[in-house]
Copies of this chain bind each other. A is one copy, B any other.
Amino acid sequence: MAGEFDLIAKLRERLGIPVGEPGHGRIALGSGDDAAVTVPGGATATSVDLLIEGVHFRRETAPLRSVGHKALAAALSDLAAMGAAPGEAYVQLGVPENLDEAGCLELADGIASVASEHGVAVIGGDLSRAPALALAITVVGHAGSAGDLVRRSGARPGDMVCVTGELGGAAAGLALIERAGLDARIDAAQGETLRRRQLEPQPRLEAGQALASSGATAMIDLSDGLGADAGHLAEASAVGVEIELARIPVQAGVAEVAAALDTDAIELAASGGEDYELLVTLPADALGPARGAVEAAGVALTELGRAVAGEGVSLREGDGSVRRSSGFDQLAQRER
């Protein structure tokens, strides 16, 4: 596109470490050559995330700065779920005709704010015209050795199943954003907090590293929702997961939004996606120290249930009856 090289220079100024200016110890060569060069040391965890306008976000309801924020935050959440220390990011941007330079830079500012908050260096990228806004993000995290990183597959029967933070906020925020009129029924400040939870999620990077070094046996981030992601963890670990619905930590305001939607708060918290909290399994004796380490990172850790011999996920009511078990077929139809 005309002016591509100008825009690349401006994006690099906001986002990138220019070539020849290694800003972090690990980076030998930043953006602007044929490839970026790093000297990783131990093990690396690498994850890629593709976000497409009209599929993952709509510009009518998500400010461009938030789109950039969420794209990098969601990618980093995968590193959090490995217990990796965040390192480098690469940003590929497909720009439609109706997005001008100012819009591209607003998007870049959202990416840059998350990168800066978590000490991530954006050291490469690519730019193209595209029929709709597309962001492809690659993130690389680090650990001393491959064994320090936590997979989905290590849960054992008897492990405690825990979750960081609070759930349901992103789904409630999405409802507030998408459904006109719902706002009037919710406290204004609470509504704003819920919308931000949807638009600008926080990857639990410190908590993830704390859990990894506290003996976590398996970990996954909650992008699809508690029920679905617990299912992924259960399948990878070849265990069953039992969750007590009453223990789910529900974010303030979610109950009010759920009521307005004619559902209940627990349902929204258990099936809503994009909270980007961490679901983790731990041996029982690791729970106390793990909670301390996660709380030191400013996040709560809540015990939800147990890993058991068997398969699938059971969501149990207070009386022990099963509200729903495994499958969650409707979620398999969702985009992500």
Binding site for B on A (CB under 8 A): 1-2, 4-5, 19-20, 28-29, 32-40, 42-52, 54-56, 78-79, 81-82, 84, 88, 90-94, 123-132, 134, 136, 138, 140-141, 145-146, 149, 151-153, 219-221, 236, 332-333, 335-336
Knowing A46-B140, A52-B129, A126-B49, the reply to whether A37 touches B333 (Cβ < 8 A) is no
Please indicate which of the listed interface residues A48, A81, A132 has the most CB atoms of chain B within 10 Å of its own CB. Answer: A48
**A92 and B335 form a contact (CB under 8 A):** no
Knowing A48-B90, A138-B138, the reply to whether A333 touches B2 (Cβ < 8 A) is yes
**A335 and B28 form a contact (CB under 8 A):** no
Copies of this polypeptide in the complex? 2
**B33 and A236 form a contact (CB under 8 A):** yes
**A52 and B94 form a contact (CB under 8 A):** yes
Residue on B with the closest CB to A28? B146
On chain B, the residues within 8 Å of A152 by CB distance are 33-34
- Within the complex, the shortest CB–CB distance from A300 to chain B, in Å, comes to 21
Knowing A34-B81, A39-B145, A153-B33, the reply to whether A131 touches B48 (Cβ < 8 A) is no
Interface pairs A-B: 6 shortest CB-CB? A136-B136, A28-B146, A35-B45, A35-B47, A50-B92, A34-B81
Q: Can you report 9 A-B residue pairs in the complex whose CB atoms are below 8 A from each other?
A: A32-B236, A33-B153, A34-B79, A48-B138, A52-B129, A52-B134, A90-B138, A128-B335, A132-B132
